[in-house]
Amino acid sequence: MTPDPHTVLITGGASGIGFALAQKFHAVGNRVILAGRRSEALQQAAERLPGALAETADITRAQDRAALVQKYPDLNILVNNAGIQLNSPLAEQSEADITHELCVNLTAPILLTHAFLPMLLKQPHGAVVNVSSGLAIVPKEAASVYCASKAALHSFSQTLRWQLEHTGVKVFELMPPLVDTAMTAGRGKGKISPEALAEEFWQAFLADKYEIMGGKTKLLYRINRLFPKLAERIMRKGL
């Protein structure tokens, strides 16, 4: 992909990985839209990126998705970054917890992509960027629903890429390792910063590398290819 000019919408863009990606796009002159549920945090984030827009939206709600599509018909890059992780055994989760986690991590990104796709296909150059996880490769024991949702998002990214390969829309997938964000606070070691991950993404994005394994995800992938039982033992220890 060329670095600019693009109109880029990033879900979960107020902090963490989403904001780090926004900084990369903004730095080279793209029009950046930060979307999320926390109005105050979004406004504060947008103020750090002159010209960026803040859109309060819950992408699990059909009416909020429709409002974004109606407001930004010229969008040509969609970054599906918003996600949540509940670290507890399935037996301890409520049905509402399970449904919400699946909706945020999988259903909403698919539906938002579906809603924007007619507009993206009209653009000379377009892209969908799905932020999945290294846990899409090898799951961890403590977060079965999260891992399942990210594995499914990985599969969705692959098949959507095949469906769109003869169009102007490119499909990227960013598979982060453990990143130092609010979601991972208090657990895990060896985290990388959101900024370091965003730099890895940016170089791969410019080079049209569609599956981007950040940080230790590359190592996990290699271990799983060569020694799958070892990868399983590592990940069962949890992060």
One digit per residue, the tens of pLDDT, for the chain of length 239 reads 888 799 999 999 999 999 999 999 999 999 999 999 999 999 999 999 999 999 999 999 999 999 999 999 999 999 999 999 998 899 999 999 999 999 999 999 999 999 999 999 999 999 999 999 999 999 998 899 999 999 999 999 999 999 999 999 999 999 999 998 777 766 666 789 999 999 999 999 999 999 999 999 999 999 999 999 999 998 886 54
146 is catalytic: yes
What per-residue string of b and e applies to 140-162 under the rule 16 or more CB within 10 Å gives b? bebbbbbbbbbbbbbebbeebbe
List, in sequence order, every beta strand (DSSP E) within the chain: 7-11, 31-36, 53-56, 77-80, 126-131, 169-175, 211-213
Residue 1 buriedness (CB in 10 A; 0-12 / 13-18 / 19+): middle
Look at the domain 7-236 and name its fold: Rossmann fold (3.40.50)
Q: Where are the domains of the chain?
A: 7-236
Among residues 72, 146, 210, 221, the one annotated as catalytic is 146
- Residue 68's H or E segment, with its range, is helix 62-71
- Per-residue pLDDT of 59-72, as tens digits, reads 999 999 999 999 99
Amino acid at 215: G
What is the tens place of the pLDDT at every residue in 131-177? 999 999 999 988 999 999 999 999 999 999 999 999 999 999 999 99
CA distance 86 to 144: 9
Best CA proximity match to 131, nearest among 14, 21, 207: 21
pLDDT value at position 239?
Answer: 47
